[in-house]
Amino acid sequence: MNILILGGGGREHALAWAIAQNPKCDQLFCAPGNAGIAQVAECVAIDPEDGDAVVAFCADESISFVVVGPEAPLALGVADTLRSAGILTFGPSREAAQLEASKAFTKEICDACGADTAAYGHFTDAEAAKDYTRQQGAPIVIKADGLAAGKGVVVAMDMETALAAIDDMFGGTFGVAGAEVVIEEFMEGEEASFFVLSDGVNVLPMGTAQDHKRAFDGDKGPNTGGMGAYSPAPVMTKEITQKALNETIIPTIKEMAKRGTPFQGVLYAGFMIKDGRPRLVEYNVRFGDPECQALMIRLGAQVLDVLLDCAEGNLADARVNWADDHALSIVYAAVGYPGAYEKSTEIAGLDGLSSGSSLHVFHAGTAAKDGKTLATGGRVLAITARGNNLKQAQDSAYKAIEKIDWPEGFYRKDIGWRAL
Ligand code: AMP
Ligand code: GLY
């Protein structure tokens, strides 16, 4: 079958790399893709947020399966447009994507299904939000309701920061995303992510991971989209994983189905774990980046089978074959990221790197020009390795990244520290 992946980051490169290995995949396309993805798929200049353009491309190229990578097209209803056109699609509907696109919606679902999460208030007005915040006291968490590219959350350790964040959000710092604000109880513990496929009824766990959100070593510096990740997450023990599944994920899936808006795709749940209790921090409706890179190198070609089962409503009998392995992914970012950074700098040393099922350099923000690889984004590469244990995966990823020559880039030297 011919397959199209929407997106052009490291997550989509990892998906493309895994899917291309499956014999069911004939031609693989990616819109818009990047220089790394171009090695395994044909990149096409289509806007993934333009549903009609995507449908037209699918008709032209006889595409029978579309995998939607990022949240933005999902929140806009691109998966609905594709399914209405009769195209098998992996990814939730616009309504089900509210689980990521609206924090207030997720809290309401948690209330309705009894999922364990932080207590909260939901506000459309700054004064009421401030009154509630003063009553609750700091530390407290202030969140813009809508999609804010990972920047709409302020964990306020004191009242002054909390009140300033409320003013910022209602003042328009996050545009419409901040027109409504959710204020949450501060939860302590260790964070981990859990990835679960659902066809709307059945669920299939796809693995756990932990990422490093801060830019610099020792979890210091500004928040980023993620500077590295590893899978599995040791804190997600069998018991905690089962508890998260039974008490949060499955009730959420049932509640979405009950409302007539079943969730079909990957539910990426962030949990705060303390004293054996996993409490939901947030949902995303797509794979994490760079968590996806660590998951895909572990799963390989079987990913296509389970994504197809998911989209076809056949997850009841689907299985994931797990090797007892570990993976770790290091993000190579442009100096200055997550702030301003230089573009079109040259990356050398990539050709000498072996790439295979135990080591792969996934591209996030690259372009090819005159035989050179240029950096075009903030997060540029994700060097991902697999090993029999986490230390082995870490050693192998760091050994590889040292061979890359990119003076305008930086990476953290301590990915995986918490688990080692
Ligand atoms: P979110 O975008 O909701 O994942 O929030 C970003 C980050 O803020 C999370 O990964 C947590 O580290 C932190 N965070 C969010 N909500 C809470 C909470 N209620 N208590 C403590 N930390 C939180
Ligand atoms: N690595 C965090 C995310 O993908 O949202």
302 and 221 in a common domain: yes
User: What pLDDT shows up at residue 73?
Assistant: 98
Q: What is the mean pLDDT of the chain?
A: 95
205 and 295 in a common domain: yes
Ligand 2 atom closest to residue 211's alpha carbon, by position in its atom list:
1
282 and 241 in a common domain: yes
pLDDT at 150 over 80: no
Predicted confidence (pLDDT) per residue in 1-11, tens digit: 999 999 999 99
pLDDT-derived band at 135 (thresholds 50, 70, 90) equals very high
User: What pLDDT shows up at residue 134?
Assistant: 96
The last residue of a domain, from among 42, 75, 92: 92
369 and 259 in a common domain: no
Ligand 2 pocket, CB under 6 A: 150, 211, 225-226, 284, 288-289, 291
CATH assignment of the domain containing 136: 3.30.1490.20
280 and 339 in a common domain: no
47 and 14 in a common domain: yes
Report which of 13, 8, 32 is spatially closest to residue 362, judged by C-alpha positions.
Answer: 13
Domain-located, residue 280 = yes
pLDDT-derived band at 147 (thresholds 50, 70, 90) equals confident
Ligand 1 atom closest to residue 152's alpha carbon, by position in its atom list:
2
pLDDT-derived band at 172 (thresholds 50, 70, 90) equals confident
pLDDT-derived band at 356 (thresholds 50, 70, 90) equals confident
70 and 33 in a common domain: yes
Domain-located, residue 388 = yes
Q: Rounded to the nearest whole angstrom, what is the distance from the C-alpha of residue 179 to the centroid of ligand 1?
A: 19
For 41, counting Cβ atoms within 10 Å of its Cβ (0-12 exposed, 13-18 middle, 19+ buried), the class is: buried
Lowest-pLDDT range, 31-35, 189-193, 320-324?
Answer: 320-324
Ligand nearest to the CA of 287: 2
207 and 273 in a common domain: yes
Q: Which residue's alpha carbon is at the smallest distance from atom 4 of ligand 2? A: 288
Q: Rounded to the nearest whole angstrom, what is the distance from the C-alpha of residue 99 to the centroid of ligand 2?
A: 15
| Alpha-helical segments (H) within 61-125 | 71-76, 78-84, 98-101, 103-113
Ligand nearest to the CA of 184: 1
pLDDT-derived band at 418 (thresholds 50, 70, 90) equals confident
The last residue of a domain, from among 263, 292, 317: 317
DSSP-assigned letters across all residues of 200-232: SS-EEEEEEEEE--EEETTTEEEE-S-SEEEES
Report which of 153, 164, 170, 163 is spatially closest to residue 118, judged by C-alpha positions.
Answer: 153
Strands 228-231 and 220-223: unpaired
Ligand 2 atom closest to residue 286's alpha carbon, by position in its atom list:
4
CATH assignment of the domain containing 30: 3.40.50.20
Q: Rounded to the nearest whole angstrom, what is the distance from the C-alpha of residue 213 to the centroid of ligand 2?
A: 8
Q: Rounded to the nearest whole angstrom, what is the distance from the C-alpha of residue 290 to the centroid of ligand 2?
A: 7
User: What pLDDT shows up at residue 146?
Assistant: 87
Q: Rounded to the nearest whole angstrom, what is the distance from the C-alpha of residue 225 to the centroid of ligand 2?
A: 5
Ligand 1 atom closest to residue 184's alpha carbon, by position in its atom list:
19
Q: 384: left (phi > 0), else alpha (psi -120 to 50), else beta?
A: beta
Quote the Cα angle for 221-227-228, to 5°: 135
Ligand 2 atom closest to residue 287's alpha carbon, by position in its atom list:
4
pLDDT-derived band at 354 (thresholds 50, 70, 90) equals confident
User: What pLDDT shows up at residue 249?
Assistant: 98
Distance, in Å, from the CA atom of 409 to the CA atom of 414, rounded to the nearest integer, reads 16
Q: Which residue's alpha carbon is at the smallest distance from atom 1 of ligand 1? A: 282
> And the tokens for 296?
């895909």
Predicted confidence (pLDDT) per residue in 10-60, tens digit: 999 999 999 999 999 999 999 999 999 999 999 999 999 999 999 999 999
Instruction: Give how many domains the chain has, as a whole number.
Output: 4
CATH assignment of the domain containing 361: 3.90.600.10
> And the tokens for 376?
């075009």
Domain-located, residue 107 = no
Domain-located, residue 418 = no
Averaged pLDDT for residues 172-201: 91
Domain-located, residue 113 = no
397 and 330 in a common domain: yes
Q: Rounded to the nearest whole angstrom, what is the distance from the C-alpha of residue 191 to the centroid of ligand 1?
A: 9
Full residue range of the structural domain in which residue 349 is found: 326-410
pLDDT-derived band at 241 (thresholds 50, 70, 90) equals very high
Q: Which residue's alpha carbon is at the smallest distance from atom 4 of ligand 1? A: 282
Ligand nearest to the CA of 116: 1
Query: What is the reported pTM?
Result: 0.96
Contact 341, 311 (CB under 8 A): no
Averaged pLDDT for residues 311-315: 97
Ligand 1 pocket, CB under 6 A: 118, 141, 153, 155, 184-187, 191, 270, 281-282
Q: Rounded to the nearest whole angstrom, what is the distance from the C-alpha of residue 166 to the centroid of ligand 2?
A: 24
The last residue of a domain, from among 161, 185, 209: 185
Q: Rounded to the nearest whole angstrom, what is the distance from the C-alpha of residue 211 to the centroid of ligand 1?
A: 13
User: What pLDDT shows up at residue 370?
Assistant: 94
Domain-located, residue 357 = yes
Q: Rounded to the nearest whole angstrom, what is the distance from the C-alpha of residue 226 to the centroid of ligand 2?
A: 6
Q: Rounded to the nearest whole angstrom, what is the distance from the C-alpha of residue 81 to the centroid of ligand 2?
A: 25
Averaged pLDDT for residues 128-147: 93
Ligand 2 atom closest to residue 284's alpha carbon, by position in its atom list:
5
pLDDT at 69 over 80: yes
Mutate to test the pocket of ligand 1, among 106, 155, 279 (most ligand atoms within 8 A of CB): 155
Which of the pair, 410 or 177, is modelled with greater confidence?
410
Predicted confidence (pLDDT) per residue in 251-284, tens digit: 999 999 999 999 999 999 999 999 999 999 999 9
Instruction: Name the percent of the chain lying above pLDDT 90.
Output: 91
362 and 249 in a common domain: no
371 and 254 in a common domain: no
Domain-located, residue 111 = no
Domain-located, residue 109 = no
Q: What is the DSSP letter of 249?
A: I
307 and 196 in a common domain: yes
Ligand nearest to the CA of 211: 2
